[in-house]
Structure 1
């Protein structure tokens, strides 16, 4: 069973159904989590609970973070990543902070329309995959140096631009790139690393 906010794209629903999943749409991520708990309590079900599962950031500590350090030869000015579950920015951030200390900035990306990390507010936005409307338990705020807000309409327009250039990424990937450009220009940095966590397959009806 997959429980998701009703704002997700048609393609995302179709892909999951084609893989055999029962898709249940609800009004928000908060409701999705509550519904998941109800199902677990009333049936023989189990959830991986990626918002709280320590295996999530640990996977990035063991793989993604070391890979970035190796490929960049330890020469990184900033790491920029959107916060969905918080696993990527937490796991990678811990590795980079341990290796590079104050010489690297760890930057979190969130939608301007739902600045939960910045001031506790949440709202509807169009950058699917990030900003669930609450602060995930696995998110390590102590390693984050800055939070950058990206307007969701700008992220959509930038996604269209990237597609025309043959870079078929998802909306959250576009938000990460926009955030990286902001950080690069703000601090006059040279080597900024980000993650493109999704391709455009699930967003054709949303972006086109």
Structure 2
């Protein structure tokens, strides 16, 4: 089957029955997409079950924590998804920049576990994955494969992480603790930009029919769960802020390209609020902007190709940011000297400064792109820009240490902190940014041909079908169908 063969019923009854029996014995209950988009609708007994276990355990109750509404302690729900606002005293632009926090997701402290759940559960409920016999292969540059391993552990199936060897040490440390066998971590050559090498390894692994490739770049379940759950959560944050300022509009949504899934939230926000969608990539690998290529260190975005699940023709702006800027700001935001400078010299509140540790490398990139967008569009204090911090600085301590040794060999002091803030944040201008025309969007869309048609054997008709927005609107019809199939699956397991 191809990524376009989106099942609405059971494909293989034997696999389905095996999955029902497997999860029934383990007493696993699967949450629906609608429950994850509105966890307050969950039965109180489920919420109590979640509060009784750690968010870091491979426990099936943690499936019901795979959403944006976890509180800071990860032991309950918040009324509104966790977020903070960066104001003009920090950013230098009038528009408030709203950052929604991904580090509250369970097990991996990053929101990519949401996509991993969607990609595997839709295979389970349609009989396309047998957890007793198949292996789930998770190609990724880090967070998605960690999410996949976590979901695999909970469901009692074998999971294999395929990721570049140059990713952060924290990713590998986590994987070492979670995989059932060391061989289930497959390192491929390169770093963030080297997705082709991941695909090559997956092609090799797929020769074994028991290896099921769950490719986030081409699994439309990734797009759909972000459309419903991430889009809904971000819209909730905005409407909450709008209650405090009825003049506030949601001018733009900013997110790194990555797998293209998170950008699906932009489609939801555009449907609800007319929000512009800004896709972010590294200056060092400007695929969309300049048909460019290259190595970079903004882990989580900029993979030197156009994902199949990225709705390119709905993109309004493309912005590129420097990986050096992200690396240097990672040092500023996560060192005592950096905090001292921001609090004492820039007169920022300690509350604001402490929240900056919640920004991982891709989150920093998103904030810089949001500043660029605000400058380009000349946004006012009533024009909010919303973005996500997929993970936090805690995942990049090794990268911080590396940056300090390479860029600040004489030490990171107050002068270094001031120069970093002035150059890489306040100095952010509206360069390397494009308001896309129809011709621009077609050019970017066409780049995907070489990956998906020539290399991955997607039919030209299927590839072209995504150019029309009706394709994406039709996808949304799958959400209630899959929810009903999840409910029926749970009934069959007897675990409800």
TM-score range, shorter chain: over 0.9
| Distance in structure 2 (CA, Å) of the matches to 1:150 and 1:174 | 10
Equivalent residues, number: 205
Give 1 or 2 for the bigger CA radius of gyration.
Answer: 2
| Distance in structure 2 (CA, Å) of the matches to 1:9 and 1:67 | 28
State the secondary structure of the residue aligned to 1:194: strand
On the 8 A contact 1:110/1:148 being kept in 2, the answer is: yes
**Unaligned 5+ runs, structure 1:** none
State the secondary structure of the residue aligned to 1:24: strand
- Which of 287, 304, 307 does residue 116 from structure 1 map onto? 287
On the 8 A contact 1:9/1:203 being kept in 2, the answer is: yes
| Distance in structure 1 (CA, Å) of the matches to 2:307 and 2:331 | 30
Deviation for aligned residue 1:55: 0.5
- Which of 31, 36, 45 does residue 202 from structure 2 map onto? 36
Deviation for aligned residue 1:43: 5.0
On the 8 A contact 1:106/1:144 being kept in 2, the answer is: yes
| Distance in structure 2 (CA, Å) of the matches to 1:48 and 1:18 | 22
On the 8 A contact 1:97/1:143 being kept in 2, the answer is: no
Equivalent residue number for residue 46 of structure 2: none
Greater relative CO (CA pairs within 8 A, separation 6+): 1
Deviation for aligned residue 1:128: 0.7
Equivalent residue number for residue 24 of structure 1: 186
Matched, 1:99 2:258: no
Equivalent residue number for residue 128 of structure 1: 299
**Unaligned 5+ runs, structure 2:** 1-159, 243-248, 340-352, 402-496
| Distance in structure 2 (CA, Å) of the matches to 1:56 and 1:43 | 23
**Structure 2 matches for 1:42-191, cutoff 5 A?**
42-73=208-239, 75-89=249-263, 91-101=264-274, 104-163=275-334, 164=339, 165-166=353-354, 167-168=356-357, 169-189=359-379, 190-191=383-384
Q: Deviations over 1:98-130 (max 9, x none)?
A: 2233xx221111000001122222210010111
State the secondary structure of the residue aligned to 2:371: helix
| Distance in structure 2 (CA, Å) of the matches to 1:183 and 1:45 | 42
Equivalent residue number for residue 196 of structure 1: 389
Deviation for aligned residue 1:204: 0.8
On the 8 A contact 1:83/1:110 being kept in 2, the answer is: yes
| Distance in structure 2 (CA, Å) of the matches to 1:187 and 1:160 | 29
State the secondary structure of the residue aligned to 1:139: coil
State the secondary structure of the residue aligned to 1:121: coil
Q: TM-score, normalised by structure 1?
A: 0.92
Q: TM-score, normalised by structure 2?
A: 0.40
RMSD over aligned CA atoms reads: 1.6
State the secondary structure of the residue aligned to 1:87: coil
| Distance in structure 2 (CA, Å) of the matches to 1:36 and 1:194 | 31
State the secondary structure of the residue aligned to 1:123: coil
**Quick check: 32-41 or 108-117, which moved more?**
32-41
State the secondary structure of the residue aligned to 2:262: helix
On the 8 A contact 1:50/1:56 being kept in 2, the answer is: yes
